[in-house]
């Protein structure tokens, strides 16, 4: 959507050793309107899509757009996936987040986002496995079990579904090889969903997510090698 009154949003990223800070000026990115989504040209893309992924940041901009997508996904039996994206989303945008949770087939988040979500729900625990299990059991709009995936940086990846908790090891990487963690979370979800949409088992989905994230953090920015690497899941 083009907003003639606003420039394109920008984000400054500062890397200090292995730590990252981000400062944004959302500008036009904060002005998206659901009416644009409803136009025939754009909605035809929605109808052609086979899966939907919504970042939590979008809930600060146009919750009605996210809900329209979620309702379409439910009606057409398409997977709807959601990322918590930042700790402040469950804290300050809980209402639109919780409105989408019943539609969510796969929910992603890192450890700090998961802690914030658990706190916003009043869970009297900081244990990520317990939080993942509780979130996986929240009411759902269809009969398909919700998958909750919590990453923890250098620690194991937690997956909860059907009331069961499974933990998966990450790919070990020497600290000196870490260049920039920008985009690591989205890289993980991309790798995970690439296998999820092929109906592969959860362990393969997590392995793919960890592999792609491991590649990204060894490069500047959310970038990828020009040549594909062979990797056996």
For 94, what's the count of Cα atoms within 13 Å in the CB-facing half-sphere? 10
What is the spatial distance between Cα 151 and Cα 168, in angstroms, rounded to a whole number? 10
What is the spatial distance between Cα 159 and Cα 171, in angstroms, rounded to a whole number? 16
What is the spatial distance between Cα 81 and Cα 49, in angstroms, rounded to a whole number? 13
Q: For residue 229, what are the contacts with CB-CB under 8 A and spacing of at least 6?
A: 215
For the stretch 34-48, what's the b/e string if a residue is b when 16 or more beta carbons lie within 10 angstroms of its beta carbon?
A: eebbeeeeeeeebee
| Catalytic member of 105, 180, 186, 220 | 186
Residue pair 9/2 in contact by the 8 Å Cβ criterion: no
Instruction: Check if 3 is active-site.
Output: no
For 34, left (φ over 0), alpha (ψ -120 to 50), or beta? Answer: alpha
With vertex at residue 134, the alpha carbon angle to CA 132 and CA 140, rounded to the nearest 5 degrees, is: 105
How many H-runs (helices) and E-runs (strands) does the chain carry? 9, 8
Catalytic positions, written as ranges: 186
């Amino acid at each position: 959507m083009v907003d003639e009154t606003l420039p394109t949003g920008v984000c400054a990223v500062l890397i200090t050793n292995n730590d990252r800070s981000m400062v944004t000026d959302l500008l036009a990115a904060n002005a998206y309107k659901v009416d644009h989504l409803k136009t025939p040209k754009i909605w035809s893309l929605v109808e052609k899509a086979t899966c939907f992924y919504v970042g939590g940041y979008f809930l600060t901009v146009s919750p009605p757009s996210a809900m329209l997508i979620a309702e379409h996904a439910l009606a057409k039996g398409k997977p709807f996936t959601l990322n918590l994206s930042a700790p402040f989303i469950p804290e300050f945008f809980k209402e639109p987040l919780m409105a989408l949770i019943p539609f969510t087939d796969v929910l992603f988040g890192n450890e700090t986002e998961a802690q914030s979500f658990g706190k916003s729900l009043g869970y009297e625990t900081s244990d990520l496995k317990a939080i993942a299990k509780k979130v996986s059991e929240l009411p759902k709009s269809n009969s398909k079990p919700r998958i909750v995936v919590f990453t923890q940086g250098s620690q194991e990846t937690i997956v909860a579904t059907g009331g069961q908790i499974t933990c998966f090891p990450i790919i070990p990487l020497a600290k000196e090889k870490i260049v920039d963690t920008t985009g690591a979370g989205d890289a993980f979800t991309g790798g995970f969903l690439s296998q999820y949409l092929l109906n592969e088992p959860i362990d393969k989905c997590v392995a793919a997510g960890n592999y792609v994230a491991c590649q990204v953090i060894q490069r500047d920015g959310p970038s990828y090698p020009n040549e594909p690497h062979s990797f056996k899941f």
